[in-house]
Amino acid sequence: MAKKNKKFEEALKELEEIVEEFENKEVDLDTSIKKFKKCTELLKYCESILNEAEGKIYALLEKERLQEIDEDE
């Protein structure tokens, strides 16, 4: 699985490098399977980071909305 301390940008770069390898090189079946597995792990990791960031953004927006309501009252 992708390391939890890896930054989103690092994981995305690694994912892009693997995709580029698939596009530009002939990769044997065993290597392809390993790289595909790594891609799915990186995708899940990136998605989890994005979901966490989205949750934080929604929380901040909700907090701001509630502050505006309090100020209006």
Domains of the chain, earliest start first: 8-72 (1.10.287)
> What DSSP line would sit under 21-67, residue for residue?
HHHHS---HHHHHHHHHHHHHHHHHHHHHHHHHHHHHHHHHHHHHHH
Question: pLDDT tens, 3-17?
Answer: 567 899 999 999 999
Rounded Cα distance, 19 and 28, in Å: 14
Tell me the two tokens of residue 28.
């044997």
Looking at residue 67, its pLDDT comes to: 82
- What is the model's pTM? 0.74
Looking at residue 14, its pLDDT comes to: 96
Question: pLDDT tens, 16-73?
Answer: 999 999 999 888 999 999 999 999 999 999 999 999 999 999 999 998 888 877 777 6
Contact 51, 8 (CB under 8 A): no
Contact 8, 49 (CB under 8 A): yes
